[in-house]
Homo-oligomer: A and B are copies of this chain.
Amino acid sequence: MKVRNINRVERRDAFLKEKAAGVSIRVAIAEEDGAKNSSMRILEIDPEGFTPLHTHDYEHLMFVVRGAGIVTDGSKECRLEREDVVFVPQGQAHQIKNTGDTELILVSVLPVQRD
């Protein structure tokens, strides 16, 4: 069993080569920990920050820890607030934007096996 606090896990910038701003991740639980099915990352988005509008061939589950924002598929927008969950099926475009004054923090769950 492994227990760790996410704030003691290295934070690194994400999406640097794409149209994004102010996004970082902490890898909370990964294959190196013995995970065979799911990995967990913490996504931190600065005020006015956003991920790219992007698509991948695997599903994406998220839980909003704190902050406020929106998720969009490129046309429809949906507001996000604390304790919302988001399910993005494989192949669906998605983008997260921080619309609040504080960091937007999300738990992000992906399959371990992905491209």
Contact = CB atoms under 8 A, between A and B. Distances in A.
Interface in A1-46: 1-7, 28-29, 33-38, 40
B61 A38 contact: yes
What does DSSP make chain A's interface, helix, strand, loop or mixed? strand
Contacts of A85: 3-6, 28-29, 40
Copies of the polypeptide in the assembly: 2
B37 A71 contact: no
A111 to B, nearest CB: 4
Nearest to A113: B37
Interface residues of A, number: 39
Given A37-B37, A107-B107, A94 B1 contact: yes
Contacts of A61: 29, 35, 38, 40, 109
10 contacts: A1-B78, A3-B84, A3-B87, A5-B84, A29-B85, A34-B89, A35-B59, A37-B37, A65-B65, A65-B83
